[in-house]
Structure 1
Amino acid sequence: MHRDRILVVDDDENMVYIIKDALQHEGYEVSTAGDGATGIQLVSIKHPDLVIADVMMPGMDGFSMLESIRRIGYNMPVLILTARTDTEDLLQGYDKGANDYIRKPFVLAELMARVRAHLRFRKMDNTNMKYSVGDCDLDIKRNKLTIGDKEAILTYTETIVLSELMTHPGCIIESRNISSLIWGSSDYSHVNRLHGFIHKIRRHLALSTSIDIVNIRGLGYKLVFDEKRLSRPEKVDS
């Protein structure tokens, strides 16, 4: 029976022990590394289904490791552990391909819930791996968005969000439903985090002449693709 493989990268041995013990108790196969360079090597050897990585490490830090594995082409979910609270640091991580953030100190139960949520979506049986709306094509398997002759590689979480919206074009998708799909929770912190991903996706969609995402205040988001409606959206805040 296949067990999900998880790689934990952190130079704090006590933290690694605690996380590894909790993951193994849940039935996962766990590998560990104490720095980013070793983490990259283990990604290529172990092919983990999910990576948990600290930001502050000697030598290659978590952000540099994340950037490297995304550049190589690995698309597994990556959860970043950080004691930082600066918004710019969080945005930097998302720009480099992070799927989620866990702020230290954290509750193990929350970390386990997020691990389960990311792995659950990864295993979902997507019978249609490609979506097309307007002039945009989304390849879920490759995390690739194509608009005309332009291509953009999305992060794993961006792909989840955009695929959910493209599955139901013209319909309001509640923020809490998207948050639950991604993180297994719809509390305020996750809904607020979702807004950041929507902002990034809209930057990718800026090249499109036919679709956009609008915010339905207090409810969620809608993918609109009629140009007339884009120019005169009703009762929405974009």
Structure 2
Amino acid sequence: MSDSSSFRPAVPLSAMTRADGGALRILVVDDEPALTDLLRMALRYEGWEVETAGNGANALATARRFNPDLVILDIMLPDLDGLSILARLRARDADLPVLFLTAKDALDDRIAGLTAGGDDYVTKPFSLEELVARIRGLLRRAALVTPEQIGPIVQVGDLILNEDSHEVERGGDPIDLTATEFELLRYLMRNPRRLLSKMQILDRVWNYEFDGRTSIVELYISYLRRKIDAGREPMIHTSRGVGYMIKPARVSAE
């Protein structure tokens, strides 16, 4: 598995959301803090909401509160084993997708997990790319997500972003962005009409490099506004004390 000290996630393939447009919710259950921290970072990069738990009791309590769309579940935990947790989760939601993590590579362990009702398994150590691909496959099969975007183009209203070429234009006019401005805009555009907090943005765009100093978010939002919204109907909106949202500009009546 990737070393968390050098981890920089690859560009996500495409945004997957709930059918109602909300962010998918993933619960990660494992007693290794370094692993849960790494998975939280990688899965949040996909635009998903992530909660973690280090034991079975916390996992069950978090599942009741968080209502996850998918659970990543370690078979070996300090209190309850993964199979027992699965049974309790399925008693509450029979269709909840569950992907097992296991340090064991024995065939009987894999069979036990799948016959108990698990949907898939990944054996440690694993690659983040493989795990994300497995999650996407489970979510598609569960019919929980909206159709994925085809190709590298992300569009909100008349604002278009090309993830391959890093070109951005609004209303046909090209817009030059720095690398950080591009990452910030991409995150906003992958979550249209969703209010994102400063901490969510800091986590996703800066990977905690500024240690909670959200003023950097305010600064870069102001940079983006000058380039995206200057002289046009605004697309980037502020909810004071909460965060920021991007949405299509209102069309003025002729």
How many residue pairs were aligned? Answer: 125
Q: CA contact under 8 A between 2:90 and 2:96: conserved in structure 1?
A: no
SS in structure 2 at match of 1:123:
coil
Q: Residue 190 of structure 1 aligns with which residue? A: none
2:124 is matched with 104
Counterpart residue type for residue 79 of structure 1? L
Identity %: 42
Worse-superposed segment, 109-118 or 89-98: 89-98
More helix per residue: 1 or 2? Answer: 1
Question: What RMSD, in angstroms, separates the aligned Cα atoms of the two structures?
Answer: 1.5
Cα deviations by residue, 1:94-120 (Å, 9 ceiling, x for unpaired): 122100010000000000011111112
* TM-score normalized with structure 1 length: 0.50
Q: Deviations over 1:160-209 (max 9, x none)?
A: xxxxxxxxxxxxxxxxxxxxxxxxxxxxxxxxxxxxxxxxxxxxxxxxxx
Write out aligned runs for 1:67-86 (5 A): 67-86=87-106
Report the alpha carbon displacement of residue 124 of structure 1 after superposing the two structures with TM: 6.3
Residue identity in the other structure for 2:95: N
Unpaired runs of 5+ residues, structure 2, are: 1-20, 146-254
1:91 to 107, 111, 127: 111
TM-score normalised over the length of structure 2: 0.47
Unaligned segments of structure 1, at least 5 residues: 126-238
Shift of 1:72: 3.2
**Does 2:82 correspond to 1:36?**
no
Cα deviations by residue, 1:133-167 (Å, 9 ceiling, x for unpaired): xxxxxxxxxxxxxxxxxxxxxxxxxxxxxxxxxxx
* Counterpart pick for 2:71 among 42, 47, 51: 51
Q: Where does structure 1 differ by over 3 angstroms across 4 or more consecutive aligned residues?
A: none
- 2:25 equivalent in structure 1: 5
Say which one has the larger Rg. 2
Report the CA distance between 1:52 and its aligned residue: 0.2
